[in-house]
Chain A
Amino acid sequence: NAGVTQTPKFQVLKTGQSMTLQCAQDMNHEYMSWYRQDPGMGLRLIHYSVGAGITDQGEVPNGYNVSRSTTEDFPLRLLSAAPSQTSVYFCASSYTGDSGNTIYFGEGSWLTVV
């Protein structure tokens, strides 16, 4: 029972590099999302998806792209990394509707941009 799997767990990038954080879930959840957590703050929503082929922006989307080609996968792309994107990133998934009162989080991906 894998739940929500994020890779990599740790990554160091140079300014201007691009990379993709992977997120996969095996629970057939419609809803998937990406959050970032910065010191002294709670998690903030970057992008979300309510199903395959459907994505939308959250609270802090600038500098990130997402796609949802399958129900299981929701990768987060950093187009040109900046030091301000140094953060811990969490992927989450749930059902939509009334069943969506349980949100499952991945273990987080620690990203440092130098």
Chain B
Amino acid sequence: AQTVTQSQPEMSVQEAETVTLSCTYDTSESDYYLFWYKQPPSRQMILVIRQEAYKQQNATENRFSVNFQKAAKSFSLKISDSQLGDAAMYFCAYRPRLNTGTASKLTFGTGTRLQVTL
């Protein structure tokens, strides 16, 4: 079974600084997707960034980028120029690319709460 581990329950960053959130996962699959979701206090699940495992290039979305290390099964999220609106819970998630049946499910980590201070 796949597992996703986020070892940092809470992180804090000053506004305009950079912060990196860690995620490791375990799978026997070779082809899969990895995601970072943001969950503000409203509890809405917002997709931040997505990485396809078959792509070597790290995904970027504006101030958000990932460091994907397939051999190490590591998928960290870097937030640059942090803003107050970035404060939220961040979840790392995994999904096999061959998403049929139970393989379709997302496996989530337990989340990292990010605080942004002035």
| Residue positions of A touching B, CB distance < 8 A | 31, 33, 35, 37, 40-45, 48, 50, 56, 58-59, 88, 90, 92, 94, 96-98, 100-103, 105, 107-108, 110
State the interface size on chain B (CB cutoff 8 A).
25
Q: What does the 1/0 interface line of B86-118 toward A look like (CB < 8 Å)?
A: 000001010101011110111011110000000
A90–B45 CA distance with the chains assembled, in angstroms: 9
A64–B9 CA distance with the chains assembled, in angstroms: 30
Decide if A42 touches B110 in the complex (CB within 8 Å).
yes
Decide if B33 touches A41 in the complex (CB within 8 Å).
no
A103: min CB distance to chain B, Å? 6
A99 and chain B: residue at smallest CB distance: B99
B88: min CB distance to chain A, Å? 14
In the bound complex, residues from chain B placing their C-beta under 8 Å from that of A97 are 99-100
B104 contact from A33, A35, A40, Cβ within 8 A: A33
Decide if A103 touches B43 in the complex (CB within 8 Å).
no
Q: Is B52 an interface residue (CB 8 A)?
A: yes
A103 and chain B: residue at smallest CB distance: B106
A107 contact from B35, B44, B104, Cβ within 8 A: B44
A31–B47 CA distance with the chains assembled, in angstroms: 18
Decide if B91 touches A42 in the complex (CB within 8 Å).
yes
A97 and chain B: residue at smallest CB distance: B99
Decide if A45 touches B100 in the complex (CB within 8 Å).
no
A37 and chain B: residue at smallest CB distance: B43
In the bound complex, residues from chain B placing their C-beta under 8 Å from that of A56 are 101-102
Decide if A45 touches B105 in the complex (CB within 8 Å).
yes
The 13 sampled A-B contact pairs (Cβ below 8 Å) are A41-B111, A42-B110, A43-B91, A43-B106, A50-B100, A58-B105, A94-B99, A101-B95, A101-B97, A102-B50, A103-B106, A108-B43, A108-B44
Give the most central of A33, A41, A43, A45: most B CB within 10 Å.
A43
Interfacial residues of chain B within 43-71, with CB under 8 A of chain A in the complex: 43-45, 47, 50, 52
B108 and chain A: residue at smallest CB distance: A42
A108–B50 CA distance with the chains assembled, in angstroms: 22
In the bound complex, residues from chain A placing their C-beta under 8 Å from that of B50 are 101-102
